[in-house]
Amino acid sequence: MSRFEHVVIVDDELDHAVISRLVLAQVAPEVAVDTFTDLQGLGARLAKVTPQSLVVMDRMLNGAESFGLIEQLKAARPDLTVVLVSAVLSAQDTQRAAEAGAMLAAEKPGDLIAWRAFFTDLLGRRPAESGGSAVA
């Protein structure tokens, strides 16, 4: 069983959002997944997501950093768990994410096996529960 019943993927790159949705369907088929790739009205849509959801947000959205959006989201919805992902993260990015209220800042996995391990860890599942195998 996952520690989250709902995951929201926020990424302006449709391919990354679709990959995340597909991997989550394999890792935790019982978890509801929404993808927000159209960023118009994003703040209002995020304010309405299911309580206690996990929000996985890309660091760069339409060319702008998402730290401010995370801060606004956590101020309005402290019940949400936010994870920031990015192709590349510096120590300063990680610190800014934490200051904004993100639980974790992580680099985007480079392959499907790594995506599977990433979501398995985030959801608090063991590899056997998700149908995967342990990754060394």
- pTM confidence score: 0.89
Compute how many other C-beta atoms are within 10 angstroms of the C-beta atom of residue 99.
Answer: 11
Alpha helices in 1-136 (DSSP H): 14-27, 42-47, 67-76, 91-100, 112-122
pLDDT tens readout for residues 67-93: 999 999 999 999 999 999 999 999 999
At 12 the pLDDT is: 94
Sequence letter at residue 54: L
Positions of the chain with pLDDT lower than 50, given as ranges: 128-136
At 124 the pLDDT is: 87
| Alpha-carbon gap, residue 53 to 30, rounded angstroms | 14
Please report how the helices 91-100 and 67-76 are oriented relative to each other, as an axis angle in degrees rounded to 10.
20
Domains and CATH numbers, the chain: 6-122 (3.40.50.2300)
Is residue 94 within 8 A of residue 105, CB to CB? The reply is: yes
